Structure 1
Amino acid sequence: MNAQDVDLEVDALGLLCPLPVLRLRKRMEGAAPGAVVRLLADDPAAHVDVPHFCAEAGHGFLGAEGTTFLVRKRGG
C-alpha cells in the first residue's frame, strides 16, 4: 500500500503493550469509516494485539510488515 493510500498514521514506536493498541484506538475515533490507518509499533506483542483488537472491534486488519501495521476502520 502506498503512502497516499493511508489516511492516518499512528506512531507508537517505543511503547509497550497495551499502549500501542490504546493509542491506535484513540486516534481511530476521529477517523472516517473505511479510513486506512498505518500503525508504527515495535513492541513484539503488537503482532498479536493488533489483529486481536481489529477482530474484537470489527476493523479490518490489512496486514503487518516489520513494525508497520495497516488497519481499515469499520464501516467503510
Structure 2
Amino acid sequence: MSADQPTPDAPGSETAEPIARSLDVRGLKCPLPVLKARKAIAQVEIGALLEVLVTDPAAMLDFRHYARQSGHELVSAEEGEVLRFVLRRTA
C-alpha cells in the first residue's frame, strides 16, 4: 500500500465504514506523522475516515492529543509493531 492513497477498509479492521484515505508514515518520527495526518485529513470530506500507519511509539500519545486539540474523532488506535489510527474528520 502506498502512502496517501484511497484504500478499502483493511481486513480485520475495527471500523465498519470504508476508509477514505490511507496514510503510510512508517519510519517517520514525531512530530512528522501528526503533521502529515493533519494535512491529509484536510483533503477528505467531513465525516470521512483517514487511516494512518505509524511506527513511532510516541504517536500513541501524539494522535490522542491531536484528536482532542483538533476536534476530529479518534475512531480507533491499535497498538502493535505498526500503530494504526483511524480518524474521522469533523470539520
TM-score by length of 1: 0.90
Q: Which has the higher helix share?
A: 1
> What is the CA–CA distance in structure 2 between the aligned matches of 1:61 and 1:51, rounded to whole Å?
7
Query: Percent identity among equivalent residues?
Result: 35
Deviations 1:15-52 (A, max 9, x none): 00000000000111111001101000010010000011
In the other structure, the counterpart of 1:26 is 39
**Structure 1 unaligned spans of 5+:** none
In the other structure, the counterpart of 2:49 is 36
> What is the CA–CA distance in structure 2 between the aligned matches of 1:5 and 1:57, rounded to whole Å?
22
Q: Which runs of 4+ in 1 moved over 4 A?
A: none
In the other structure, the counterpart of 2:71 is 58
The structure with the larger Rg is 2
In the other structure, the counterpart of 1:46 is 59
SS at match of 2:33: helix
**Structure 2 unaligned spans of 5+:** 1-7, 10-16
In the other structure, the counterpart of 2:90 is 74
TM-score by length of 2: 0.76
> What is the CA–CA distance in structure 1 between the aligned matches of 2:86 and 2:64, rounded to whole Å?
10
What is the number of residues matched between the two proteins? 74
Deviation at 1:5, TM superposition (A): 1.1
In the other structure, the counterpart of 1:12 is 25
